[in-house]
Structure 1
Amino acid sequence: MADVAAAAGVSGQTVSRVVNASPRVDPATRARVEAAMSRLGYRPHRAARALRTGRTQTIGLVVATLDTVGNSRMLQAVAAAAAGRGYGVALVTAVGPESADDAFARLADQGVDGVVVLNEASPFAAAVPAAAGFRLLLVDAPGAPASPDAAPGFHVVQTDHAAGAHQAVAHLLELGHRHIAHIAGPADSFAARQREEGWRSALTGAGLEVPVPVRGDWSAASGYAAGGRLDDATAVFVANDQMALGALRALADAGKTVPADVSVVGFDDIADAAEYRPPLTTVRQDFDALGARAVEVLLDDVESAADTAPVVETFTPALVVRASTAPRR
């Protein structure tokens, strides 16, 4: 920092302010310091900074699996948002309460400044004793209050999965479908349960019988297996786009045309959904916005000098209509 200060003709304190993104530096001086940093190849020393500030500029990310597109997209979004704030990400996996305890212990060893817990890992994360010492944010937290007034003790950023599913089924009802099947996700998944609830409530509200859902495991292969068990349904709401891909192939193998014989709606709007045959009608989750907001809330808490009240925010997904749905014949 002394070398940068000398090259830029400023004080060491000014260099420190630039490194820490302080607003108390005028643009011309900031540009001169950044040019000197680039010319000299200067990078902040994380270990030294941690000793001085008590922060490692690293956040933890706890996931149950990266096999699903949603978790992979969230990992990418969180990592990008953290990098934009000058933070790194330490990734750990946890698939149950005991492994969650181990995951938090590993993050404690690394001295992370806060933790984001994704989706399927969140049901037990808040109950893990080791989590008590962290600034904690859960993405999709079962039992989370609708507002921060209930003071859950951690931040929550979530998608309204039930509302998204309700939109999907309402679209099929508007097209005249009355026998709408559901390929559900795993029974122990919070997101899957919420999407199933949205499907049920839409059918019940229309005065229709609710059939028994066919359950998959989020994979395209399980969607293919489930797609062969839809009986005489004229439409199907599928809990994610990967299973919808398998269902489309199963329907084709059974000699059924989509959407002439069966309309199909997915959930997530993954990058390839528009390239399915036919292009998939689906419910879009904004993973980038969800991940960015999760990081923003957590780091605002980490960097705050005072205690921060729990934040609870809900994102409502949007239906994207493509060629896989059509009026009932």
Structure 2
Amino acid sequence: MTQRRVSMADVAARAGVWGQPVPRVVTGSPRVDPATRDRVEAAMAALGYRPHRAARALRTGRSQTLGLVVSTLATVGNSRMLQAVADAATARGYATTVVTAGGRDALDDAFERLRDQGADGAIVLNEATALATGAEAPAGLQLVVVDSPPDPRFSIVQSDHAGGARLAVEHLSALGHRTVHHVAGPGSSFAAAERERGWREALAAVGAPASALLRGDWTAGSGYLAGLALPADATAVFVANDQMALGMLRALAETGRDTPRAVSVVGFDDVADAAQYRPPLTTVRQDFDLLGERAVAALVAGIEAGGAVGAETVPTTLIVRGSTAAPR
């Protein structure tokens, strides 16, 4: 026999209240005294009460659903961000729906699909942010963009990509390397451009020459090709993400250039397997969990405040492992 769904009336009876306190607690209304709120929340927990999402949407005008707009889920950063956003949304009582967008028209379609599904707002992630720049802000849909140039139309949350790149170059310079080569990400990526900017600024600060840029597409295969093209006199390289750094390590090993004795390598992201590379990878850690939490917090604040706009930068951290050493 199917178990009956716990109702607000059941919660009210358990809490010993009557009338409006239960729906007010469910919708987050401040018009409940603390003692009554505590009794209602205790009754909800004891009975396993879960608000009916559709009914709550009718009462509040909100679906408690957040959209996540991505251009791809194939990259490690995007998949990590999806998990972080979903976890943070769940903790705040929101569901998450994912839509993909591969071009400007596709972005408009993605926003339209989210509006059709009744989403309260959306987080536009990484590579998809380039599509949002210059596009019209969707009517009736709050937006937070992760990794974007300043834009007064929506809130922005981003990692300190340039600062992390500076940490990488400063670490290699302190070890005694005359200069640091760089394998950048795609030219269309804001994060890649910021990491390149940090690399150039750090080299300029120590008076080191900047070498010709090598560029990849975030994949290990492109890092491998960059490793084959790395100049023979290079002793240190900062790679814009860990996946490309993995390919770089393979290329160096195959061409007889030991890491770190011949060439030191620093990555970016600190993916789960970075410590298992051979050698373990020195890298710049992005705090994906905090990034996702702050993006969700900014979006929920915008929804509840009716369009608040702000910007936040999440710090990055250098994690030193076995892939860097003083030059021979």
State the TM-score, normalized to the length of structure 2. Answer: 0.91
Distance in 2 between residues matched to 1:41 and 1:318, nearest whole Å: 41
Question: Amino acid of the residue matched to residue 44 of structure 1?
Answer: P
Contact kept in structure 2, 1:161 and 1:198, CA below 8 Å: yes
Q: Deviations for 1:242-298, whole angstroms, at most 9, x for unmatched residues?
A: 111111111111112111111000001112111212111111111111111111111
Task: Give the alignment of 1:194-205 within 5 angstroms.
Answer: 194-205=194-205
Distance in 2 between residues matched to 1:141 and 1:118, nearest whole Å: 9
Contact kept in structure 2, 1:105 and 1:130, CA below 8 Å: no
> How far off its partner does 1:229 sit?
1.1
What is the match of residue 292 of structure 1?
293
Distance in 2 between residues matched to 1:225 and 1:120, nearest whole Å: 22
Distance in 1 between residues matched to 2:259 and 2:42, nearest whole Å: 58
Distance in 1 between residues matched to 2:19 and 2:264, nearest whole Å: 65
SS of equivalent residue, structure 1 residue 255: coil
Distance in 2 between residues matched to 1:242 and 1:202, nearest whole Å: 23
Task: Give the alignment of 1:226-305 within 5 angstroms.
Answer: 226-232=226-232, 233-304=234-305
What is the match of residue 166 of structure 1?
166
What is the match of residue 326 of structure 2?
327
Residue 89 to residue 230, structure 1, CA distance change in 2 (3 Å) = same
Distance in 2 between residues matched to 1:100 and 1:153, nearest whole Å: 16
Q: CA RMSD in A?
A: 1.9
> How far off its partner does 1:30 sit?
5.0
Matched, 1:135 2:142: yes
Residue 296 to residue 32, structure 1, CA distance change in 2 (3 Å) = same
Q: Deviations for 1:117-158, whole angstroms, at most 9, x for unmatched residues?
A: 11111122153336243211111112x16xxxxxx1211111
> How far off its partner does 1:45 sit?
1.3
Q: Deviations for 1:134-186, whole angstroms, at most 9, x for unmatched residues?
A: 211111112x16xxxxxx12111112211211111111111111242211111
Question: Amino acid of the residue matched to residue 259 of structure 1?
Answer: P
> How far off its partner does 1:103 sit?
0.6
> How far off its partner does 1:203 sit?
2.1
SS of equivalent residue, structure 1 residue 237: strand
Question: Amino acid of the residue matched to residue 217 of structure 1?
Answer: D
> How far off its partner does 1:31 sit?
5.8
Contact kept in structure 2, 1:240 and 1:266, CA below 8 Å: yes
What is the match of residue 4 of structure 1?
11
Residue 86 to residue 113, structure 1, CA distance change in 2 (3 Å) = same
Consecutive unaligned residues in structure 2, runs of 5 or more:
1-7
Q: Deviations for 1:60-119, whole angstroms, at most 9, x for unmatched residues?
A: 111111111111111111111111111011111112211111111111111111111111
Distance in 2 between residues matched to 1:126 and 1:6, nearest whole Å: 52
Question: Amino acid of the residue matched to residue 218 of structure 1?
Answer: W
SS of equivalent residue, structure 2 residue 284: strand
State the TM-score, normalized to the length of structure 1. Answer: 0.91
Contact kept in structure 2, 1:244 and 1:266, CA below 8 Å: yes
Contact kept in structure 1, 2:27 and 2:56, CA below 8 Å: no
SS of equivalent residue, structure 1 residue 242: helix
Task: Give the alignment of 1:76-155 within 5 angstroms.
Answer: 76-129=83-136, 131-142=138-149, 144=150, 152-155=152-155
Q: Deviations for 1:226-247, whole angstroms, at most 9, x for unmatched residues?
A: 1111122101100001111111
Distance in 2 between residues matched to 1:52 and 1:176, nearest whole Å: 64
Question: Amino acid of the residue matched to residue 311 of structure 1?
Answer: G
Consecutive unaligned residues in structure 1, runs of 5 or more:
146-151
> How far off its partner does 1:225 sit?
1.6
Contact kept in structure 2, 1:114 and 1:134, CA below 8 Å: yes
Residue 307 to residue 38, structure 1, CA distance change in 2 (3 Å) = closer
Q: Deviations for 1:13-47, whole angstroms, at most 9, x for unmatched residues?
A: 222233235564546x5565445445655321111
Distance in 2 between residues matched to 1:14 and 1:249, nearest whole Å: 63
Distance in 1 between residues matched to 2:99 and 2:12, nearest whole Å: 38
Residues 249-258 or 201-210, more deviating = 201-210
Residues 257-266 or 197-206, more deviating = 197-206
Distance in 1 between residues matched to 2:258 and 2:19, nearest whole Å: 70
What is the match of residue 191 of structure 2?
191
Distance in 1 between residues matched to 2:317 and 2:277, nearest whole Å: 19
What is the match of residue 206 of structure 2?
206
SS of equivalent residue, structure 1 residue 209: coil
SS of equivalent residue, structure 1 residue 303: helix
Distance in 1 between residues matched to 2:165 and 2:136, nearest whole Å: 34
Q: Deviations for 1:213-233, whole angstroms, at most 9, x for unmatched residues?
A: 221111112111211111221
What is the match of residue 3 of structure 2?
none
Residue 307 to residue 69, structure 1, CA distance change in 2 (3 Å) = closer
Contact kept in structure 2, 1:5 and 1:33, CA below 8 Å: yes
Question: Amino acid of the residue matched to residue 75 of structure 1?
Answer: L
Contact kept in structure 1, 2:173 and 2:179, CA below 8 Å: no
Contact kept in structure 1, 2:175 and 2:327, CA below 8 Å: yes
